[in-house]
Every structure is written in C-alpha cells, then in structure tokens.
Structure 1
Amino acid sequence: MATEDLTFLPPGVSHSDFAAALSEWRAIVGDDYVMADIDRLAPYAKVMLPEPDARHRPAGAVAPASTEEVQAVVKVAEKYRVPLWMISTGKNLGYGDAAPATPGQVVLDLKRMNRIIEVDETLGYALVEPGVTYMQLKEFLEANNIPLWISFPSSGPVAGPMGNTLDRGVGYNRYGQHFENFCGLEVVLADGSLVRTGMGGVENSREWNVYRWGFGPWVDGIFSQSNFGVVTKIGIWLMPKPPMSLGFLCGWNEDDGMAAGIDAVRHLNLNKVIENGVLGHTMYHIAQTYRRDEIYTGPGAIPRERVREICNDMGLGIWGHISTLYGTEEQIEVNLKIAREAFASTGGQFMTERDPGIEATPFHHWNLNMTNQPTLTEFTIYNYKGGGGSSWLAPVVRCEGSEALKQFNLMHGVLDEYGFDYIGGFLIGGRHAEQLTDILYDRNDAEEMDRARRCYLALIDALHGAGYGIYRTSTSFMNEVAETYGPGQRDLNRRIKRALDPNGILAPGKSGITI
C-alpha cells in the first residue's frame, strides 16, 4: 500500500487534527474507504482544465456508503474544520471532473451510495442515491420490464442523474430539462442534521416524489449548483415509453438558416409539436469524426470558408437541427406534417429517419440519445486535438433567431481571436436556448493551455458585456462567472452559506460561494 502523504494538509488544519479526522473517518466507513496517499488520490486529482493539476489537488478522500455515514463524516469534518468537496459519480467531464475547486479539500465521494431505492411505474419516477449511474438505472428498468425512459446527457453511460440534475445539466428526450423534472431531495447539512424537502417532511408521505412544493418556502433550488448541503437522495421523473417515435433532421448551409431554424423550433416547441431538439454546428460532428490535423494544418482557428468546404465535401449543411417525435402513429404523422411545413419556410433540407442518406449525417447518434439509447460517441471529440484539454462554456440566450445568431457571432469572434475552433451548438428549451461550446486544447502545451484560459476569460467578459449570462461553468471559472451576476446575488448566497455552514466546510469555492 502506498504511503500516506500527510504533509499536504487542508488549509488551516494542523497535521494532528487532519490525522485525527482520518482516523475517525476510518472508524465510520472502514480503512479501505479513506484515502490520503498520492496513488489512490490520483483519480480525484486529474483535470481537463486549462491550469495545473496542483490547483485542484485534494488532501484526501472519504467514501461513505449510507446517509448515516455521510452524517457522521460531515460531523467529523465540522469538528476539525476539514473542507469537503462532494461528488456523486465524478464524471463532470469538461466542467471539473472529480477534483475540488481549490487545493487541500477532502473529496467526499458518494459513488458507493448507489441504491435505486424505488421506481414507480404508474407515476413514472425513481428515487435514487448519488452513485447511481444513468446506465445502471436503464438496466434496472429493462431487467424489470418497466416501460419508462430516462433523459440523460452526452456522458449518460458513466454519469449519474443526481449530479447532472443538481448541476442543471440537459438531456435529449421530452424530459431533457433535467432540473424541471426532479422532485424531492434528502440533504445532509453542515452540522450533520438531515432534511427532506417538500412532501418529504411529512412522515410516511407517499407524495414526496410526485408533488414538488410541499408547504411554505420551496428550498430545493438552493441545493442546486451550491455548497449548502450534501444531497443523498433525489427523485427523478421518467418518461413513459411512447408507442413509437420518429426522428427528423433539418440542415442549413448558412448561419442565417440557423437563425430561421431557431425561430421555427421555438414555435413548434411552445405549441408542443416537438418536445426536444439539438441545433448543432456541424464542426461538432466533424470533431467526433476526424483529428484536426486531418482537415486543417494552417495557423489559428479554422477559417469559416474552410469549414464550409469541409461540410460540402461531406454532403452536410453547416448547421443541423435534430428532433424526435413521440406518440401514436396518428399523432406522429400529424406533427410531422406540421414540423415539415414549419421548417420548409426556413429554406432548410428536411429529412426523416425513413429517408435514404440520413445515416451519413450526425442524425444517428442524437436520435439514439433521444430514444433511450445512451452512447459515448461524443467523447471522441477529445481525439480532435489530443492532449486532454476541455472546457465547456454554457451561456443562455433568448430563443429568438436574431439573438442566437448575435451570440454565436460574438463567441465565434472571440474564439477566432485566440485561435480556437467553434465546437458547439444550441440545446433548445422553448423560451430559451443554451449554447454549449467546448474549447479543446492540448494540456501538454503550456502556451496553448494559457491561451485557452485567457480565451475563456475573454468569452466571459464579452458575453457579460453583451448582457448574456452563463448558466454552467467549470471549477476554474466559478468566481469569474459569479461576479457577472452582480453583488445582490453573491451577497444573498453568502448569507445563506453563513447560516447553513458557518465554518465553510462544504465545497469551498463552489459556484463562487464563500462565507
């Protein structure tokens, strides 16, 4: 067994206190589930961020197996003032992975808490612990012949519903806005006390995971993207398996076509003709298919005209929107006719999965995600540049074509300036869209890594200056993004933090929240 490194201590914690905390945690969770040696901490220290690993080095890790053990672990942390960084599956790829936001925190790894506590087929929900993965839940549903589908993100096979939902991640079926489709939390607070939100406060309630609001203030939201508590159970709403589905694609060769497509999608979405959709730039598909040096070896970012040539060579538009219709055959045929007519007005090329040639487009992967079949196809984008660097940026925009085009051009301009390709697109939620964009870089190249960091900061400034807010960011940039939301929100978060966690032991730095 590797030797423990007790020279790297949590900030402000003495050697003797840290050793005492480790000893008490071992008595709670067992020797095998308390880690302070370099080798065993390696999985908690690896990052894809544009800065050195040392800025996110943990001092240790502890892995409880139950809510009761979490309560006991947190009480020890409070006693010795040891900061805890909470993770569920630790697969927050491109946003920070499993590593803490600041060095010296102890990772509170909840992967061992992986029970599927309840699945209700009639009302369509599951109650799960933090370590449950999307694939684990999918296999449970299939093994028990439960006709419910899961909305999962691109990392679906390895990530889990609790972590993704609490970070307000997005999926691809009609329940794709994940934070709109959860109900009920169990939370351990910084003093080790336990609270069940909403109807969970009623003893023997059977409505905990079907009615969100309960009585009095609705507090669930303060445990999303925050460091106010440790969530140990979550209710997830699942989609009833439809009688059938039919996917379609509409592509455009111009950026103006994308803008028209956004307007068409909004109209169809608000009227519930379509209930999901990805409107992506084809460079995202290309980055999954080719290494960058196979398509471009010149200086700087790939010029837009070269991107157009690449897309034309592949027989693809520059932009493509993909949705899946759900329902009976009659419902689908009616909605398909409406959708086809709406997209016809945009000048795009419309195809369904029934049409020959669609398999040569990006359609197949997204349609799998939209029909309960998770894949890891998108992870091949990390081969595009090589070197393991990835930082996602996720600004929100009004679901209006002119605004989407304006935001896209703004971001593209900053990326061009710093020499990075636009790899992204829009996930549409009806009245808003999230423009998810990944900056890819080689972490072995110090100059490129520094340039990626400066590019990300420049994007934050440019977006903020234009009035756009970023809804999700990585552990490297949480303070900078929090600043853009103004002193009122930061002060309110600080007040809540001081009330619930006065010693600041839970995930210092998460979302820029401090005491």
Structure 2
Amino acid sequence: MSNRQAPPPTLAEKYSGVPARLAAIAQDAKDRLYSHKTAPDSVPRRGGLRLPPDTSREAFDEAIAALKQELGQANVVLNDKPLVDGWYLEHPNTHDAFAVIDQEELVSSAIAYPGSTAEVQAVVKWANKFAIPIYPISIGRNVGYGGSAPRVPGAVVVDLGRRMNKILNIDAENASCMVEPGVSYFALYEEIQKKKLPLWIDTPDLGGGSVLGNAIDRGVGYTPFGDHFANHCGMEVVLPNGELLRTGMGALPGKNGADNPTWQSFQPAYGPYSDGIFSQSNFGIVCQMGFWLMRETGHQSYMITFPRDEDFPNIVEAIRPLAQKGILGNIPQLRHVAQELNVTGKPKSHWYAGTSPVPREVIQKHAAQMPCGDCSWVFYGTQYGDETSINSQLEIIKSAFSSIKGFKFFLPSDLPPDHYLHSRALVCSGVPVLRELDWLNWKPNAAHLFFSPITPTRGEDATVVHDINVRLHQKYAFDLFPTLCVAGREMHYITNIIYDRSSDDEKRRAAALMRELISETAREGYGEYRTHILFADQVARTYNWNNNALMRFNETIKDALDPNGILAPGRNGIWPKKYRGKGWELLGDSVEKVVGGGTISPKL
C-alpha cells in the first residue's frame, strides 16, 4: 500500500505554500511523516462551537453577523468543523496542531480574515463593541510554542496572513524591505531571486514562517543578521482601541503624503523608542514591518566535532572570545551528537528498540558509523567575505579549538550530499529550506515543545543548564536534543521535547518536564526568552525582581492601551484587568492535570 500523500501547496497556489524548487522535498517530508502516523486525522468534536467567555450564543451570532458586514461573508468563518492537525505546510488556524492538552480546549470560536490595515482596525473596533477577545496570528506556524491556538478559548482568531501577504517594497539600494504578516521567508526569498537582486534574507531553520511574525516573537536566524527583531526597522501598528500608529521615522509624514523615505533606514527616530513594547506583547497588532537585508557575499560553512561529553564547557569557553572579537561570521549552532541521528529523518525505532531514552553507548555506536564519527558535540559555523579572509578566519578558529584534544574539522565537500551540513550551508547563506522537518519522524504522531532559556556564554553557566536538562530528561524519560545558538555574550539553549501527541502519558510527562525545567533553571538565574502559551504564566512569574516590577509595568501599559481587555488576553502572561486574578493563569501542575480531559478556563 502506497503512503503517497496529496501534494503540499506551492507558493503559486497559496501564500503559505512551498517554492517549486522544494516541492519534491516537501512531498517526501510529508510522506515520511504520515508513514509514522497512527492517530486519525480528526476525532468527532464533543462540545461543538466554543463560545467566547461570558457570551451567549445569541449575542455571539449577532456579533458575527456584524463582523461579516465589515469584512464580507467569506472572510469570517465559524470554527464548528472537525479539528484537523495537518502538518507544517497544511496547518490549522483554529487550534494548536501540537496540542498538549485537549484539542478542543485552546480553540477559537471563529476566524476572521482582514485584507488591509483598515480592516484590522475595523476588527479591533468590533471586538471592543461586542466585548469579544481576538487573537491575531500572522501565518500560524509558531509550532512548539502554541501554533495558532488562542490563549483564551473561544476567542476569535484574526488570521492576518491569508489576505495580507504582500511584499510592499524591496529597496535594492537601501538593502531593506517592507512586508505584511502573511509574507513567509520562502516568499521573500523567491521574490528577491526573481528580481535578481544581490541581497540575502535571514531565515530560521524552517522557511515557512512569517518574516514579520517571527521577528515580533524575537526569533533568530543564522547569518550576521540573525537577530530578527534587532534588524527590523519601522512598524505600522493597530492599537487595541483601533487607532493606527507608525513607529520610528514612519511617524514623520513623507512629502505629499508618501511614506517617509527614511522609515526603513533609521530605527528609533525621535523620543522614546517604542517598537520594543510591540514584541512578545498584546499591546497592538503589527500590520506592516520593515527589515534590513544583507548584501550578498562569499561564504563558507563548516562542521567541527568534539569527542567527549565533558568537552562541553571548554567548547563554550573557546567560542566566547571568537564571537566577541567578531571572528565567528554568524550565529553558530552547537548540537549534541544525538541530533546527528535525529536529523536523518529515521525514527527512533531505527536506532534503538527500547522506549526509554536512547542510551549513550547506543548513540556512540551509531555515530561511529556516520560521517561525524564517534563524537559528542557538533559545531556548525559559517564564515563570510572573500576567499583570503575566510581562510584566515578558519585558521584562527581551528587554532582556538585546538586546545580541545581530538577535535575534527569538516567542509561540506568532505561529507556526503545528504549530510545535514549542506542544509546548514543554505540556511546560513539566507536560503530557506525544510530539512528541520525530519526531526518529527523521531516518534509516531510526533509533536514538540521548545524549552528556550538564555545563559551567558560561559562554560560554567551553560553547564548548569545542561546538567539540569540531562537529569530531568532522564527523570521524565525523554531523549535530550539540545541546540545552542551561541553569541558573544549570551546563548540560546534550545531543547526540543519530542512527544507522541496521541499518548496522554507522553503529553503529561512532557508538560511536567517543561514545568520543572522552567522552575529549576529560574532558581539558578536562567530564564526562557520565549515559551509555549501554556507555560507563559509560569515563565512570566519567574521574572519577578522587585515585587514583580516588570509585570506590573506591563499590566499598566496593557490597561492603558486596552481597557476592555480584547486583544490577545494572556499572551506571554500579560492579562488585562478584566481577566486578571480570576483564575485564568496556569501555574503549578495545572497543565498536567487537564491532559486527557478537563478545562483550563475558570468558572466565571
């Protein structure tokens, strides 16, 4: 029996599709993923349409009729159909495709599709009038962090991507662009290639996400422009009262009503720099955003392996001065060798017959037969410039790592064409790909949670967080897949917790692992930079210096801008006055308790 699935959508067919150059790769990735699937595409819904809090069906129907008058009948859709998880390129905008708790819990009541900034303003004014919470998404591919799911069940998801997906401008001389929320990394890259411009984008590991949405959530990539929010320039924002704001130089009108010519050139403009309050917040809906692009240049990717687990702190110590001096060309990755097995796309059962975490000696045995050889840590880097400067940089890097006995250096030409380094080389030169999807073949019906704390770039600090991860992953029986994105002063220590979403036991253990990781690392002084919506309240409360001064500040802004509490209540732990202190916060073991049944919503 063939496992061939229906073809994924292409960019020519759908704004969120895959470029034609990757169509065959996407097809193979989908077929592999579905070949391990044992759960049904959907199960019958038990509760029917989920209404917003404190809203009767009659009041909701009246409100939806009014919203359809604003946006058009086809652009407001009730969420009363079966909930289908799909996969990366065909994901839902109604709920979290990687649901940890019941699929029907974090679910929308309806989806609205505005087609312009003016229509976003109309949606916001509608939400205030009818007291219905709204939850904006760009494309909805925030996988591992909650996807498209609204934090308040029954909220109306505002899908900005479907009809607001234009590349508004690419300025070749200024090396900048302006995009709407529905523009993916794939789409921006393909447009630059079509215009034959000598410019690079910076893409995360997977290319299907929103350029704007990823930056708003402070995501990262791997070229010198890898800090996406730091390389944005200018926003157009709809505030929670429906008013329109332009930040930076956009606040200064251009000549004859045109956009300001320096809007994508200078970030702060005059007065307080307000852009930051719209990242990882619920203070406004960003409808347009400018970005700086990188000039095309020479580049050379490489891989370095290190033989022992205990080399870890010494590797970090060697990286820090290289990064601080600007010798490392990009934001490199340091990964444990376990991921060399994982990124092949082969399931865990291919490597190990047991259900416990793969033993270290089994990983070691398989790694010895792979191009990386018998090693423990794998470093992926890229240098930029002309050939002479790149060769000089590589000699300095080799010298710095030479203090770690047994390190080995590889160029892409040293490795077979299907090795992961070739994918890194593309990503690190601004080419969006799909290779990271292969992680999800590790388990059937695979889903994942990201645990993403920040540490200083010091071996001592990194070891504390790593040791906590090792111990707690063993306690909860999950394989540990750490990826460290390393800069000169800080590291993103990103752990990918892969679980079978058809198993309540695995979901319960994954939630417990996540909760304990957050609390233990916070006690040591290390906090997450980004988290899943189910754990946002816990993470927000770890940032509690001076009697929660930061949260009290955020709540003051929220109440001033959004007195009716309609815009994404609870996002990143920020609750408006209407919800605050009324049982909506998820703390302690409340997530584990509702896995397999139960509700997270308080009885109001």
Q: Under a length normalisation based on structure 2, what TM-score does the superposition of the two structures give?
A: 0.81
Matches within 5 A, 1:395-406: 395-406=453-464
Q: Does 1:306 align with 2:356?
A: no
Counterpart position of 2:444: 386
Please report how far the alpha carbon of residue 358 of structure 1 lies from its aligned counterpart in structure 2 after TM superposition. Answer: 6.4
Q: Which runs of 5+ in 1 are unaligned?
A: none
Evaluate the alpha carbon distance shift between residue 355 and residue 82 of structure 1 in structure 2; reply closer, same or farther with a 3 A threshold. Answer: same
CA contact under 8 A between 1:396 and 1:434: conserved in structure 2? yes
CA distance in 2, matches of 1:364, 1:403: 31
Q: Which 10-residue stretch deviates more, 179-188 or 300-309?
A: 300-309
CA contact under 8 A between 2:237 and 2:285: conserved in structure 1? yes
CA distance in 2, matches of 1:6, 1:260: 56
The partner residue of 1:445 within 497, 500, 503 is 503
Matches within 5 A, 1:234-313: 234-242=289-297, 244-276=298-330, 277-289=332-344, 290-313=346-369
CA distance in 2, matches of 1:338, 1:209: 36
SS state of the match for residue 188, structure 2? helix
Aligned residues: 509
Evaluate the alpha carbon distance shift between residue 6 and residue 295 of structure 1 in structure 2; reply closer, same or farther with a 3 A threshold. Answer: closer
CA contact under 8 A between 1:278 and 1:323: conserved in structure 2? yes
List per-residue Cα deviations over 1:463-492 (Å, max 9, x = no partner): 111111111111111111111111211111
List per-residue Cα deviations over 1:409-462 (Å, max 9, x = no partner): 111111110000101210012210001111111111111111111111111111
CA contact under 8 A between 2:166 and 2:182: conserved in structure 1? yes
Please report how far the alpha carbon of residue 306 of structure 1 lies from its aligned counterpart in structure 2 after TM superposition. Answer: 2.8
SS state of the match for residue 442, structure 2? helix
The partner residue of 2:225 within 175, 194, 210 is 175
CA contact under 8 A between 1:343 and 1:350: conserved in structure 2? no
Q: Which amino acid aligns with 1:151?
A: D
Counterpart position of 1:326: 384
The partner residue of 2:540 within 482, 487, 490 is 482
Counterpart position of 1:513: 574
SS state of the match for residue 512, structure 2? helix
Evaluate the alpha carbon distance shift between residue 346 and residue 123 of structure 1 in structure 2; reply closer, same or farther with a 3 A threshold. Answer: farther
Counterpart position of 2:491: 433
SS state of the match for residue 280, structure 2? coil
Q: Does 1:22 align with 2:64?
A: yes
Counterpart position of 2:17: none
Counterpart position of 2:553: 492
Counterpart position of 2:435: 377
Counterpart position of 1:147: 198
CA contact under 8 A between 2:176 and 2:293: conserved in structure 1? yes
CA contact under 8 A between 1:423 and 1:438: conserved in structure 2? yes
CA contact under 8 A between 1:227 and 1:510: conserved in structure 2? yes
CA contact under 8 A between 2:128 and 2:566: conserved in structure 1? yes
Detail structure 1 runs of 4+ shifted over 6 Å in the superposition. none
Q: Does 1:73 align with 2:131?
A: no
CA RMSD of aligned residues (A): 1.7
Structure whose residues are more often helix by fraction:
1
Q: Does 1:502 align with 2:563?
A: yes
Q: Does 1:357 align with 2:415?
A: yes
Q: Which amino acid aligns with 2:100?
A: P
Matches within 5 A, 1:35-46: 35-39=77-81, 42=84, 43=92, 44-46=94-96
Counterpart position of 1:191: 241
Counterpart position of 1:32: 74
The partner residue of 1:459 within 513, 517, 520 is 517
CA contact under 8 A between 1:6 and 1:36: conserved in structure 2? no
Counterpart position of 2:170: 119
Please report how far the alpha carbon of residue 309 of structure 1 lies from its aligned counterpart in structure 2 after TM superposition. Answer: 2.6
Please report how far the alpha carbon of residue 350 of structure 1 lies from its aligned counterpart in structure 2 after TM superposition. Answer: 3.6
SS state of the match for residue 54, structure 1? coil
Please report how far the alpha carbon of residue 19 of structure 1 lies from its aligned counterpart in structure 2 after TM superposition. Answer: 1.6
CA distance in 1, matches of 2:420, 2:196: 31
CA contact under 8 A between 1:394 and 1:472: conserved in structure 2? yes
CA contact under 8 A between 2:206 and 2:435: conserved in structure 1? no
CA distance in 1, matches of 2:509, 2:235: 40
Counterpart position of 1:82: 132
How many percent of aligned residue pairs carry the same amino acid?
Answer: 35
CA distance in 1, matches of 2:55, 2:552: 27
CA distance in 1, matches of 2:566, 2:318: 48
CA distance in 1, matches of 2:63, 2:270: 38
CA distance in 1, matches of 2:106, 2:365: 41
Please report how far the alpha carbon of residue 47 of structure 1 lies from its aligned counterpart in structure 2 after TM superposition. Answer: 2.6
CA distance in 1, matches of 2:549, 2:412: 52
CA distance in 1, matches of 2:314, 2:172: 40
Q: Which 10-residue stretch deviates more, 463-472 or 335-344?
A: 335-344
CA contact under 8 A between 1:340 and 1:350: conserved in structure 2? no
